[in-house]
C-alpha cells in the first residue's frame, strides 16, 4: 500500500533531479576545463602552423594525431582554444552576473519594501533604462569605454540590473504583505532588520534563479561582443571569435564553427535550467 501511495511522488522527483544534476555536471565540466586549462589543453591555443590549417577532427579521414577537434584556418588547435575560451566566458559571467545581482536585487528590495518615493524613483529609472535595446546598448558602451574584459563586464552589469530590480521588487511587495512581516513589526523589529532577516530569505530562490539566468546571458553577451571583435584581442581564444571565424569556412571546415557553437549553447542552456531547478528545489512552495 505504501508503495502505491509513494509511486507518483517518485516519478515527479526524477525529472527534478535530472533538471538539477545534468546542467550542474556540464557546468562543472566547463569550470574544471577552464580552471585546469594549462594542464589539459593538448596544445598552445595561440600557436599557429599553416601546414596544419583546417585539419578535420580525429574521427574523420585526414586528421592529425593530437588534434582531437581539428584545427582552424591558422592551424590552431580547436579543442585547446575552446578550453581556454571557457576561462574567459566563465570569468565574465561570474563577475558580471554577481555585480548585476547585488546592485539590481538591492534596488528591488528597497523599492518593493519601502514603497513611496524610493519606489517611484527606482521604477522610473528602470523604465528609462529598459527603453534602450540591450545588445545595441552593450555595443555602444564597449565602443565608448574601449575593448577589454573590464569594459565587457561593466557593460553587462550596467545593462541587466533592471531584470533583477523588477522581479525582486515584485517578489518583495508580495512578501511584505505576509503575516510574518506584520508579526516582526509588532515584535519591535526595525524595518531594515525585517527586510534583511525576514523578506530576503524568502526572495532568495528568485535571486538564485535570476543569477543563474544572468550568468548564461553574460556568456551570450560576451560571445556577441567577441563575435564583432569588441571584447578582448581577436587573437585570444573566445567562443565568440571562434564562431565568427568558423562562419566563413562552414562549407569546408564546419568543425571550426560547430564545436564552439554547441559548447556555447549547452553552457547557456545549463545555466538557465540550473537556475530554475534551484529555485524549485529551495522554494518551500514547491516542496
Which residues are registered as beta bridge partners of 71?
77
The mean pLDDT value for 95-101 works out to: 93
Residue 143 pLDDT: 78
Give CA 209 to chain center in angstroms: 11
Distance (Å, whole) CA 149 – CA 44: 21
Residue 12 pLDDT: 46
Distance (Å, whole) CA 230 – CA 240: 10
**Domain range annotation of the chain:** 12-33+71-286
Quick one: which H or E segment has residue 70? none
Q: Say whether pLDDT at 257 is over 70.
A: yes
Instruction: State the pTM of this model.
Output: 0.84
CATH T-level topology, domain 12-33+71-286 = MetI-like fold (1.10.3720)
In the numeric block, which cell numbers belong to residue 26?
A: 556540464
User: Above pLDDT 70, what percent of the chain?
Assistant: 92
Amino acid at each position: 500500500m505504501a508503495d502505491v501511495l509513494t509511486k507518483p511522488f517518485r516519478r515527479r522527483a526524477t525529472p527534478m533531479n535530472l533538471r538539477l544534476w545534468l546542467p550542474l555536471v556540464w557546468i562543472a565540466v566547463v569550470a574544471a576545463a577552464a580552471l585546469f586549462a594549462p594542464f589539459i589543453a593538448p596544445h598552445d591555443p595561440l600557436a599557429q602552423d599553416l601546414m596544419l590549417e583546417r585539419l578535420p577532427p580525429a574521427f574523420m579521414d585526414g586528421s592529425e594525431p593530437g588534434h582531437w577537434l581539428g584545427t582552424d584556418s591558422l592551424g590552431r588547435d580547436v579543442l585547446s582554444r575552446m578550453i581556454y575560451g571557457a576561462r574567459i566566458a566563465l570569468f565574465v559571467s561570474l563577475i558580471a552576473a554577481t555585480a548585476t545581482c547585488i546592485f539590481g536585487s538591492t534596488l528591488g528590495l528597497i523599492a518593493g519594501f519601502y514603497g513611496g518615493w524610493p519606489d517611484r524613483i527606482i521604477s522610473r529609472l528602470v523604465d528609462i533604462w529598459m527603453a534602450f535595446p540591450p545588445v545595441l546598448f552593450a555595443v555602444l558602451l564597449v565602443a565608448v569605454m574601449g575593448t577589454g574584459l573590464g569594459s565587457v563586464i561593466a557593460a553587462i552589469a550596467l545593462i541587466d540590473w533592471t531584470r533583477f530590480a523588477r522581479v525582486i521588487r515584485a517578489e518583495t511587495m508580495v512578501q511584505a504583505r505576509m503575516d510574518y512581516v506584520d508579526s516582526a513589526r509588532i515584535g519591535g523589529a526595525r524595518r531594515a532588520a525585517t527586510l534583511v532577516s525576514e523578506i530576503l530569505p524568502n526572495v532568495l530562490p528568485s535571486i538564485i534563479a535570476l543569477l543563474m539566468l544572468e550568468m548564461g546571458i553574460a556568456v551570450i553577451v560576451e560571445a556577441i561582443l567577441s563575435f564583432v571583435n569588441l571584447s578582448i584581442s581577436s587573437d585570444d581564444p573566445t567562443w565568440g571569435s571562434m564562431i565568427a571565424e568558423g562562419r566563413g569556412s562552414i562549407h569546408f571546415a564546419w568543425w571550426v564553427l560547430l564545436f564552439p557553437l554547441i559548447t556555447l549553447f549547452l553552457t547557456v542552456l545549463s545555466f538557465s535550467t540550473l537556475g530554475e531547478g534551484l529555485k524549485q528545489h529551495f522554494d518551500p512552495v514547491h516542496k
